[in-house]
Amino acid sequence: MERLVTLVLNDVEGAAVCPRIRMAVGANQFVGNVVRHPTLEQDQIVSCRAYGMSIGIRACPDVLHYLPTLVPGVKMEHSTVEPNIVFEFSRTTSAHGEPHFTVTENGTPFFSSADIHLAVLALESQAHQQLATLTEKAVFVHAGVVAWRGRALVIPGPSNSGKSTLVAALVAAGAAYYSDEYAVVGLDGRIYSFARPLRLRPDMLDKESFTSAAGAMSHHDSPGPLPLGWVLTVPYNAPTMRYPRLLTRGQTLLTLLANTVAVRRQSELTVKTLKLAVNSAIGLYFERGDADKAAQAIIRFVDRTLLDSTNN
């Protein structure tokens, strides 16, 4: 049984590292509002609530401090109730004295590595995936998103399909960063920011324009929702831009749907929500080469569509 208590925590070295906090604790001893928790390192949970879901991390306090917020733009707070999903980030020491990091989800391990950065990325990725799969307050589409002239420009595609590179190139060209992972489509059909720190391939990190763009993107920024302006399907297939064609509204919806995480679980909600979103959108397909050139071509295209709609 859980009891809500107020704690003063001590870290393993015995120094006070946390002020008084409120948290859920299992059947542990407590005295008034001060507890000496026997398994303190494994029992501290912080959580956040977003899109109707509550996700928490349980970890020892000194590691917890370095773990990411699980939902971009949403603060992690000490949990007063058990979250829907609890990730545990634990550190063990091998026989050779090397630290090892294991991530579990609701008690089931799913990633283990000696590299803390990889373990943190696995934790974050799985948390996002679960949020995208389980929420019924929004539709999560795998896509890069930037804002351009008050509208969202969405580039759907799976992980490692070049979305982040193209998003960085668009930001370098003046667009505002919204996400390099998910287009979050609200039930009102508008696109919400999911601005995790941009992930670029190592070879892209050498390019000055991309690093300055990535540096300008802060996951603490939470710009407001925007109407969907453009959906671009731009596979990396060609040395230069080729085969451009406009998509019908139905094809544009299918493009989004083919990259929607929870479509099988909540197909009607997904189709109705995406239908609302594409009502204001233009879909375009072309094969692209270099991201910088593609970004320039995209901006020329979207500006032309804006001009056309103004003239009409």
Partner 1 sequence: MKNPCARRDGVFAETVGSETILYDKLNHKAHSLNRTVALVWEKANGEKSVGDLARILHDELAMPADVDVVLLALQELSRAGLLQSVETEVSVQMPSRREVARKLALGSVSAALVPLVASVLAPTPAMASSRITPQQAFVDLNTVTAEALPNPAYWRSGTAQSDLGRAGLEFLQGQYPQEIQDLDGVIQILGLPPLP
Nearest in space to 25 (alpha carbons), one of 15, 13, 38: 38
- Least distance (Å) from partner 1 to the CB of residue 160? 4
Segment near partner 1 (CB under 8 A), from 82-90, 94-102, 112-120, 260-268? 260-268
Q: Does 18 bind partner 1 (CB under 8 A)?
A: no
Tokens of 211: 């690093």
Q: Would residue 273 be called left, alpha or beta, if left means φ above 0 and alpha means ψ between -120 and 50 degrees?
A: alpha
Piece in contact with partner 1 (CB under 8 A), picked from 41-49, 80-88, 215-223, 271-279: 271-279
Per-residue contact string for residues 236-255; x = within reach of partner 1 by CB under 8 A:
-x----------xxxx-xxx
Query: Residue 245's beta-bridge partner residues?
Result: 285
Residue 86 phi/psi, 5-degree rounding, is -120, 120
Q: Report d(CA 205, CA 306) in Å as an integer.
A: 33
Determine if 259 is a binding residue for partner 1 (CB under 8 A): yes
* Cα–Cα distance, 304 to 148 (Å, whole number): 13
Distances (CA, A) of 68 to 76, 124, 212: 9, 7, 22
Within 59-197, residue ranges assigned H as helices are 61-64, 116-134, 163-172
Task: Note whether 305 binds partner 1 by CB under 8 A.
Answer: no
Residue span binding partner 1 (CB under 8 A) among the ranges 89-97, 126-134, 171-179, 290-298: 126-134
Q: Which is nearer to partner 1, 203 or 268 (CB)?
A: 268
> Which residue among 258, 285, 289, 296 contacts partner 1 (CB under 8 A)?
258
Nearer to partner 1, 23 or 263 (CB): 263
* Subset of residues 273 to 302 that bind partner 1, contact rule: CB under 8 A: 275, 278
The token pair that represents 237 in the structure block? 């297939």
- Chain CA centroid to CA 247, Å: 27
Query: Considering the complex, what minimum distance in angstroms separates the CB of residue 207 from partner 1?
Result: 22
Least gap, CB of 259 to partner 1 (angstroms): 6
The residues that bridge with 186 in the sheet, in sequence order, are 138
Q: Does 203 bind partner 1 (CB under 8 A)?
A: no
Taking the alpha carbons at both ends of the chain, their separation in whole angstroms is 65
Rounded CA-CA distance 254/236 in Å is: 20
Residue 258 or 297 having the CB closest to partner 1: 258
Residue 264: count of CB within 10 angstroms of its CB: 9
Kindly state the smallest distance separating residue 127's Cβ from partner 1, in Å: 13
Q: Which is nearer to partner 1, 55 or 132 (CB)?
A: 132
Position 36, amino acid:
R
Map residue 263 onto helix, strand or coil.
Answer: coil
Q: Which is nearer to partner 1, 44 or 270 (CB)?
A: 270
For position 268 contacting partner 1 by CB under 8 A, the verdict is yes
- Per-residue binding letters, 148-187, with partner 1 (x by CB under 8 A): ----------xxxx--------------------------
Residues 6+ apart with CB under 8 A from 130: 53, 55, 85, 105
Closest separation between CB of residue 189 and partner 1, Å?
A: 12
Q: Which residues are near partner 1 by CB under 8 A?
A: 129, 132-133, 142, 158-161, 235, 237, 248-251, 253-255, 257-264, 267-268, 271-272, 275, 278
